Structure 1
C-alpha cells in the first residue's frame, strides 16, 4: 500500500499544504490517480456541504462573478465526474502539469509507480502577461 501526498503549486510560487491518500495498487495511470484524487475531494466537499476547499479545477473569476458570491448561497453538491472531465480537459490544454516525485508525467495513460511515500505535485501554469 502506498501513501500518496498531493501538493498543489503554481508557477507564481503558491504552494498548498499536502494531503495524503492511501492507494492499494503499486502502479496506476495518471488518469486514474487524478480520478481518485478528485473523487476523494468531492466526497469530502459534499459530506461537509461547504464551499470548495482544494478542488483541482476552480471556477474562473468571470464564472464566480456571473454565478454570484459563493458565500451568499447554500453549497451545491459537486459532481465528481464533471470535475474529472474538467481536470482532463485542463491537463490536455496544459492548464497544469503533474510531477510524480521528480518526474513529469506527460500523458494521462502513462503509468506511475507508487511507493510508500510518493509525492504528486500538480503544478498550475500561470499565463505570462503579454506572452
Structure 2
C-alpha cells in the first residue's frame, strides 16, 4: 500500500504496524548491524509513484527500512513523504542489470540504481531475513 506519511497519524501508524510489524528495538538494530539502506537513486517506477515523483525537479531517491514482517520504501515528493509498505509475503526483489534492483508489491514497483557494495549487502540482508525469519504461516 502506498501512503502519505508526512504527518503523525495514530491510525496510519497502526495500519503500518499491522502490515509490516513494529520497528525493531535499538538492541535489535545493533545486533542486526543496521536495518536501513543508504540513499538509493530511483531509475523507474510504476505509474502512481511516477506521478508523485514528477511533481518536483529534484533527484528521485528513496530509502528502505526493514521491519519484522516486511519493508518500507520511503521517498519524498514536493514537501511530502510517501511510503510503499511491503509485507514479506508480497515482496518480490529482483536483481536486474549489475547496477539495478527491482522492488515489487502487487502493481507497484520501484527500480533503484546500486553503485556500491554496501547496498548489495543490504539487499542480500533483506532477502536472508525474509527467508530465515518469515514463514508461510505468517501470512494473514
Q: TM-score w.r.t. structure 1 length?
A: 0.25
Bigger CA radius of gyration: 1
Q: Which is strand-richer, 1 or 2?
A: 2
